[in-house]
């Protein structure tokens, strides 16, 4: 079986979940290079999954791969996009919030026919938003509800001295547009980025973040109105089996995107 050669940037929770997905053997892809600012995390994946992959820098990794997966952090997005553009590689960007700060590189990649895949993440309903855009949308709102511990460390909380300890009932802690939301909660609302890129854009997409001490799951509700009518979707996410702070569906969406990229690439390869 022809396999797409993957360089993975970021060897944490989503990286490990992708290794598990690839271990099943039904995605025509193999990891050939691993990049992480903490080299030991990359080595752990090599040992755990018995990968025949080298642990190296992004510059070295990109030479040997067909496809780059970014599942690291907002800071990793710019170098990954630059490497994708310079070496003409398609890529998957998981840190969609980080992508919002580099829209010029995203546009440059598209102009050069490089596919930058954006996952649906822990959200459903993007198919309807995409279709509705054909006739135009008037408004799109994402309401994200999380237990307070899932929001710990967010810059918005620290910058505004917001202490969620002792919260006894659900509280709206943020309202703004998607661009503001991904800066305020870079690790929590990547889905706002995906929703706004498919829909009416980062400045027009409204985001509400609720800290709810009674919530046991991370949930995302999308409400949109447009020429088509109205839609409302609700996704209640169980945590990833290996990381309580991350939604399992986010990792599954990464695997689904990698599968789609690999199938498209290997079909093209078979034709030529
Ligand atoms: N699109 C979505 O819906 C969605 C959902 C969940 C997480 N995410 C994002 O995906 C990314 C990975 O999530 P995770 O749960 O696997 O995180 P994680 O913290 O478990 O793992 C991240 C790994 O990347 C490494 N890393 C961080 N910055 C780096 C850099 N600049 N260069 C190289 N390595 C770097 C870290 O050392 C770590 O090993 C995060 O940015 C997160 O916000 C997106």
Per residue in 44-72, pLDDT tens?
999 999 999 999 999 999 999 999 999 99
Domain 126-237 in this protein, CATH class? alpha beta
**Is residue 187's pLDDT more than 90?**
no
Residue % of the chain over a pLDDT of 90? 90
Give CA–CA dist 198/131, Å, rounded. 9
Q: Is the CB of 99 under 6 A from ligand 1?
A: no
Ligand 1 atom closest to Cα of 188? 43
Ligand 1 centre distance from Cα of residue 15 (Å): 8
Residue 262: its pLDDT value, please? 97
Q: Is the CB of 171 under 6 A from ligand 1?
A: no
CA dist 54 → 41, 94, 96, 118 (Å) = 13, 22, 26, 26
Helices (H), the chain: 13-23, 39-48, 58-64, 74-87, 96-99, 103-111, 126-132, 155-159, 178-184, 190-198, 248-271
Ligand 1 pocket test: which of 33, 71, 238 has the largest number of ligand atoms within 8 Å of its C-beta?
71
Domain 4-117+249-271 in this protein, CATH class? alpha beta
Q: Is the CB of 75 under 6 A from ligand 1?
A: yes
Residue 271: its pLDDT value, please? 66
Residue 243: its pLDDT value, please? 77
Q: What is the pLDDT of residues 33-50, one digit of tens each?
A: 999 999 999 999 999 999
Give residue 146's Cα distance to chain centre: 18
Q: Report which DSSP code applies to 136.
A: -
Q: What is the mean pLDDT of residues 181-192?
A: 92
Residue 20: its pLDDT value, please? 96
Residue 191: its pLDDT value, please? 94
Ligand 1 centre distance from Cα of residue 219 (Å): 20
CB 98 within 8 A of CB 73: yes
Q: Is the CB of 250 under 6 A from ligand 1?
A: yes
Give CA–CA dist 265/62, Å, rounded. 17
Q: What is the pLDDT of residues 217-230, one digit of tens each?
A: 999 999 999 999 99
Give CA–CA dist 25/269, Å, rounded. 19
Q: Is the CB of 239 under 6 A from ligand 1?
A: no
List phi, psi (to 5°) of 175: -140, 130
**Is residue 268's pLDDT more than 80?**
no
CA dist 49 → 22, 175, 208 (Å) = 10, 42, 39
Give the pLDDT band of residue 265 (cuts 50, 70, 90).
confident
Give CA–CA dist 79/21, Å, rounded. 26
**Is residue 199's pLDDT more than 90?**
yes
> Rg for the chain (alpha carbons), in Å?
19
Report angle CA 177, 180, 185 to the nearest 5 degrees: 115
99 vs 244 pLDDT, higher one: 99
**Is residue 241's pLDDT more than 90?**
no
Considering the chain, what is the average pLDDT of its residues? 95
Q: Is the CB of 144 under 6 A from ligand 1?
A: no
Ligand 1 centre distance from Cα of residue 252 (Å): 15
CB 235 within 8 A of CB 195: no
Ligand 1 centre distance from Cα of residue 9 (Å): 9
Q: What is the mean pLDDT of residues 21-30?
A: 96
Domain ranges of the chain: 4-117+249-271, 126-237
Question: In terms of pTM, does the model score above 0.75?
Answer: yes
**Is residue 103's pLDDT more than 80?**
yes
CA dist 217 → 67, 119, 142, 236 (Å) = 33, 20, 16, 6
């Amino acid at each position: 079986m022809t396999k797409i050669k993957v360089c993975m940037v970021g060897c944490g929770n989503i990286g490990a979940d992708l290794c598990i997905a690839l271990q099943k053997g039904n995605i025509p892809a193999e990891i050939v290079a691993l990049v992480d600012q903490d080299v030991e995390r990359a080595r752990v994946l090599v040992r755990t999954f018995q990968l025949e992959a080298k642990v190296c820098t992004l510059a070295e990794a990109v030479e040997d791969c067909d496809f780059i997966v970014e599942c690291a952090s907002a800071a990793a997005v710019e170098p990954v996009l630059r490497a994708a553009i310079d070496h003409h590689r398609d890529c998957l960007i998981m840190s969609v919030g980080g992508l919002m700060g580099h829209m010029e590189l995203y546009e440059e990649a598209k102009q050069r026919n490089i596919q930058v895949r954006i996952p649906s993440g822990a959200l459903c309903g993007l198919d309807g938003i995409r279709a509705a855009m054909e006739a135009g949308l008037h408004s799109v709102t994402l309401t994200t509800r999380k237990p307070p511990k899932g929001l710990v460390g967010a810059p918005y909380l620290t910058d505004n001295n917001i202490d969620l300890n002792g919260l006894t009932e659900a509280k709206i802690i943020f309202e703004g547009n998607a661009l503001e939301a991904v800066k305020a909660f870079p690790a929590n609302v990547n889905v706002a980025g995906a929703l706004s890129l498919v829909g009416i854009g980062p400045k027009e997409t409204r985001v509400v973040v609720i800290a709810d001490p009674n919530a046991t799951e991370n949930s995302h509700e999308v409400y949109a109105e447009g020429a088509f009518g109205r839609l409302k979707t609700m996704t209640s996410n169980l945590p990833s089996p290996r990381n309580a702070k991350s939604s399992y569906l986010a990792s599954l969406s990464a695997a689904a995107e990698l599968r789609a990229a690999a199938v498209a690439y290997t079909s093209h390869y078979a034709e030529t």
